Amino acid sequence: MVVTHLQRASTFAYGGVTVDPVGGTLTSRYRLDDVHFTEVATFDSEVDLAAEGVAAMAALYHLLAGLSYYKAGAAHVVELGDLEVGPATRALLAAALVDGLGEFALRNALDLDDVVLRGGVDAPRVTVPAAITGPLVPFGGGIDSIVSATAARREEGAALFVVGPREARFEAIEQPARQTGLPVVRCARALDAALRESTARGYFDGHVPVTAMVSALALVAAVAQRRDAVVMSNERSSSSPTVVVDGRAVNHQWSKSLACEELVRAAVGERLDGGPSYASALRDRSELWVAAEFAQHDEYLDTFMSCNRAFRQDPATRATTWCGECDKCLFTDLVLAPFVPRARLESVFGGREPLGDPRRSRDLEVLCGLVQNQKPFECVGDAEECASALVAAAARADRADQPHLASLAARCVGARPLEALLQPAGHADATALHAARGLV
């Protein structure tokens, strides 16, 4: 855990967002005590920011994106001024401050329960024209979004949505995106340069609810293009807490959770009448179901890459192959192992398959819940899924010569049968799943 002793700021103020249809930009302004920040999000030319309803979604993005700057000072007071913030939008922002920044607060030994939201006026509900085209699928290049995108090819007018740099794009996203054959709608988010100097400037630093911010940008694009849905790829274990500290659940994936999804959906409904639906197509599925589905598409195995080092902002330090060392590499290997031959996975990881390395046994213990309350702060599945995957992988004939897996599997005495975790379970709200267009 990283514990800092920086002084918290007094006030964080939202300065408003400017929508420029000509330049295709949203310009957001913020103030942290006497320090000013400016962020610019730039959309492709085919995204019509003059469309009815765009301003309402731009304001939602402005509120959520502000957390990237709020965290620099973790101010005691958040001033909304005359921003249009109805009850549902206020509830989303309040939860994003406390739960979306839960990991950030834990690592910096902060208590954000004392944050006061001041100001804001009721948001008028804007009626938008009827949809004329299909869903937008935010795409990050991992197995979850690949499964959703592959299914979305059945939907007329479907497209991917990618947030990333305008130059030096992430190949870990670009390669599988090309393979889907779907068109790509893009947005480049340019953070204020001061955030890249957090340590030198004496700012707090840490994890923010990025998926919620990407969701808001996708909703801007969907409204601008008169699309009928924004379809996310968040499976059910994303709602599971990473750790529980003093009775409080802290979830690295909060902005992928059902709780956040419902808050976003309510905020959209509060601001738009007839706007695009918002839901995850994978909400009642496990990561093991996703892995099993992904394994049916061998063509992606040589191009997809979920290793975090592939997404570094500096292209010079960005990995072009799996590192095989991080928890994300290990988890991805683990959930695919029951469904993909060992030799194929060894090829994927360039001979550095983490599951086959006995030195990773301790990390596997953590993933499988054999070490309590130490789940890594990564986008990984819950202990139940990992334990079932490990037992199933260890039972494969092509892993009979990996005794460290057999030893660990023998300790997963409560692991559920793999088949049980391949069934839909948990949240299965008919409205939400219909909103996700039944892509799975």
pLDDT at 427: 65
Contact call for residues 211 and 194 (beta carbons, < 8 A): no
Query: What whole-number distance in Å separates Cα of residue 194 and Cα of residue 203?
Result: 10
Domain ranges in the chain? 11-284+427-435, 287-422
pLDDT at 430: 41
Residue 2: phi, psi to the nearest 5? -95, 115
pLDDT at 295: 97
Greatest pairwise CA separation for the chain in angstroms? 66
Please enumerate in sequence order all residues whose Cβ is within 8 A of that of 368, keeping only pairs 6 or more positions apart, or say none. 383, 386, 387, 390, 408, 412
First-to-final CA distance of the chain: 38
Average confidence (pLDDT) per 10 residues, the chain, 440 residues = 71 98 98 97 96 97 98 97 95 98 97 96 92 97 96 96 89 93 97 86 94 98 98 96 94 97 97 96 96 96 88 80 92 98 96 94 96 91 96 98 97 95 75 50
Q: Quick count: other Cβ atoms within 10 Å of Cβ 354? A: 24
Query: What whole-number distance in Å separates Cα of residue 163 and Cα of residue 155?
Result: 22
For the record, the structure tokens of 11 come out as 């006030």
Using the structure block, give the residue that is written with the tokens 């990561």.
Answer: 287
pLDDT at 435: 46
Using the structure block, give the residue that is written with the tokens 């330049």.
Answer: 23
pLDDT at 433: 46
Distances (CA, A) of 288 to 175, 176, 303, 305, 379: 23, 20, 20, 17, 14
pLDDT at 198: 81
Angle of the 54-65 helix axis to the 210-224 helix axis, nearest 10: 170
Distances (CA, A) of 43 to 101, 272, 312: 27, 21, 22
pLDDT at 166: 84
